[in-house]
Structures are given as C-alpha cells and as structure tokens.
Structure 1
C-alpha cells in the first residue's frame, strides 16, 4: 500500500516525479526482470564462504600400513585403515572447498538496479527526503528525524555519503540499514518495506543508470 503519512521533509516519490527528476528511464514493463533475477542470485552466491569440506582417504589421519596380513587370517583383504568402508575412514565424493562466486556484466548489474528501483517506486515504497542531518550520531536523534516512519517496518536509508552521523546512528537499530548511493545495488532495494532517498542521491543514481536507458 502507498505510504500515506508524510511530513514537510519527506514525501512519496511517485513515478511521475521520478521521471521529471531523473534522466534515466523508469521501467514499467517486463524488461529487466531476468537481469534482476540473475543479479540477486549472483549477489547471494558471492556471499557464500564455500569452506565446507570432508576428508578423503588420502587426507584422513593415519599411516598406509596394512592392518593385517594379506593371507592366513581368514579375514577379508584390507589395504589401509583410511579406507572409506571403515568407520573413521575417508568420505567418498564428499563436499570440498569451492568458489561459488558469479560474475555479472556491468550492463546486467545496471539494468537490475534500474528494474529494482523502478519497481519499488511504482509500489509507492520509495520516499524522498531532504538531506538528513544529525547534531550527534545517536539513534534517538535519527528516530526523531524519521518521525513519519512506521516503527514496525524495515527501512533502508540511501544517503550521499556513508561516513556520516546517520550511518553511525543507525547501527544500533535492527530495522534500519544505511547504504551510500554509490554502493547500493538491486538486492539492497528489494528487502526493506520502505526506502528513503536523500534529495542529493537522485543525481548519483541517475548517473549510475544513465547508460541503462533514456526517456524517449
């Protein structure tokens, strides 16, 4: 549902306003859906550590000595104690450390960001705010500045510079995240209930999306 509560410094960014203030095209059709899917899959895959692993028969601790003689014992032949058929032996075809990362072309990343931003604007989930300035980097001060925010919703603040009092003040709050306009990606825009863009952020986002498409 559209965000109805507004104040003098924070308002819903409509599709019409976004098209007037940004040169990059606001996507309203199905274009970019596949790029958005590929980008989210890649971002999540790149966070995987890939460090899980099991020991094979060659890496299990123990010597290569035969546990008993080849013949004369009445037992089945056994070559080494690290055999996978024994308890404590190696693991056959177990997981090994690997790299899960995926590479995306710049055009795909740009189109995914454009699609994610366009979709959230169309939902009415993006709010436009004046530059958020705090006298002190305190969470209480930030909450007072965001007086129209529903405290039960997750919130993403896209600010001009991450090294600011807003970034420091938000670290204590579990429902608030802060990212700079130069670093925000498509996945960042999908998880929160509401997104707040500072006014100076629009030209930065527009520059990042400039090669992704222009209004006709």
Structure 2
C-alpha cells in the first residue's frame, strides 16, 4: 500500500489515503497502452464516408453511341465512371472500424494508466468537490487555487453543480468512475480523484 495526500478545495492537506499497489503502482508498458488507445479511437470513428457507385447514379442505361465507326472511344451508358457525373470507382462505403481487445488487456491498461499518473505525481485526491451553485466562475476559482490547467476529474456519482459549472471550461472534463478509460486518463495532464470515487475504481478493477 502506498500513501497519498488528500487535499481540500483550498489546496490544503487534510489527510492521507492508502492506494492499492496492484492498481496504482504497477510497471507501465507503453505497448499495452497503445493497443487499448488505438482500439478506443478506432471505435470512435464514424465510418460514414460514402460515395455513389455506377449502379447508384441516376441516369439512363442506353449506350451513348454505337460501338464502332465513329472514331471515338468506346462508351457504355452515361453513368460510366469515366464521364462527368458518373459513378465513383473504389470509393468508400459505410463501414465499422470498431474491434475489441481482451477484457484482461483493457483492465491491465487501465491499471497502467492510473499507475503512470501516480508515478509521475500527476494524481491528485480531493476529499470532496461541492459547489454552492452551478457557476463557471466559482469552478474556475477552485481550479486556479489548485493550480490546475488540464485535468480529468473523476466523481463517484452525479454531481450536477460540478458538471454544469465545468462544461464550458476548456481542457477540463468531469466523468463518473464508471466511464473511466485509458484514452482520457492519458489525454489530460492531471487526474483528480474524489476520495469517494477511489473505492468504486478499486472495486471495478479487482472484480
């Protein structure tokens, strides 16, 4: 077990917390992280690129002119890909880019991402994040006090005032622990965990 300091919204140390070494302090393998992040980004691709092929273009199927005797190149119908307004050759069709990696690899990569933040001192634990009202100004004041610029904030449950007051702040994202993923952890410089969310994360990764 490794100890980490717990802070309040004023940046003051209030207590210490024990973190499970099998989750927050394991060797990091970039190849595993790369595999899972690549999978996540592939699954996010829309795959909606599409063109009209020869059979999709509207037009007559009549042969434009006779095959021989005109001195011109041979022509079929007006939908030929060689003519203006004709169909496209080898263009993209809607498809899915998503694929899966084994659950054990996904879980291992998530542990490695958390460990990388701990090892590099980019993990911050806060006892609670309660705002009196959903105002961006109040949220920015707290962020400035904690000296944070680009961070992912993980909560245990719905925190409406926090989520509403932070949604217009660039480089800040609030997420519940159920949605925690490798890509978002690595994307942001700092990882801020509410003290109550740690049990949920540990329960998810030890199950």
TM-score band w.r.t. shorter chain: 0.7 to 0.9
Q: Distance in 1 between matches of 2:206 and 2:65?
A: 73
Structure 1 pair 203/7, CA: closer, same or farther in 2 (3 Å)?
Answer: closer
Query: 5+ residue gaps in structure 2?
Result: 1-5
> Stretches of 4+ moved more than 4 A in 1?
6-12
Distance apart, 1:126 and its partner CA? 0.9
Q: Distance in 1 between matches of 2:89 and 2:153?
A: 48
Q: 1:26 aligns with which of 24, 27, 33?
A: 24
Distance apart, 1:176 and its partner CA? 1.3
Structure 1 pair 146/117, CA: closer, same or farther in 2 (3 Å)?
Answer: same
Residue matched to 2:45 = 48
Q: Distance in 2 between matches of 1:163 and 1:148?
A: 20
SS in 2 for 1:74: coil
Residue matched to 2:133 = 136
**Is the contact made by 2:126 and 2:193 (CA closer than 8 Å) also made in structure 1?**
yes
Q: 1:159 aligns with which of 132, 146, 155?
A: 155
Distance apart, 1:189 and its partner CA? 0.5
Structure 1 pair 69/8, CA: closer, same or farther in 2 (3 Å)?
Answer: closer
Distance apart, 1:87 and its partner CA? 2.3
Distance apart, 1:117 and its partner CA? 0.4
Residue matched to 1:90 = 87
Q: Distance in 1 between matches of 2:202 and 2:46?
A: 33
User: Cα deviations across residues 56-110 of structure 1 (Å, max 9, x unaligned)?
Assistant: 1111221111111234433332111111222222221111111011122221211
Q: How many residues align?
A: 199
Residue matched to 1:205 = 201
Bigger strand fraction: 2
Residue matched to 2:3 = none
**Is the contact made by 1:24 and 1:209 (CA closer than 8 Å) also made in structure 2?**
no
Q: Distance in 2 between matches of 1:106 and 1:84?
A: 45
SS in 1 for 2:186: coil
**Is the contact made by 1:110 and 1:208 (CA closer than 8 Å) also made in structure 2?**
no
Matched, 1:124 2:121: yes
| Residues 51-66 of structure 1 mapped to structure 2, 5 A cutoff | 51-66=48-63
Q: Which has the higher contact order (CA 8 A, sep 6+)?
A: 1
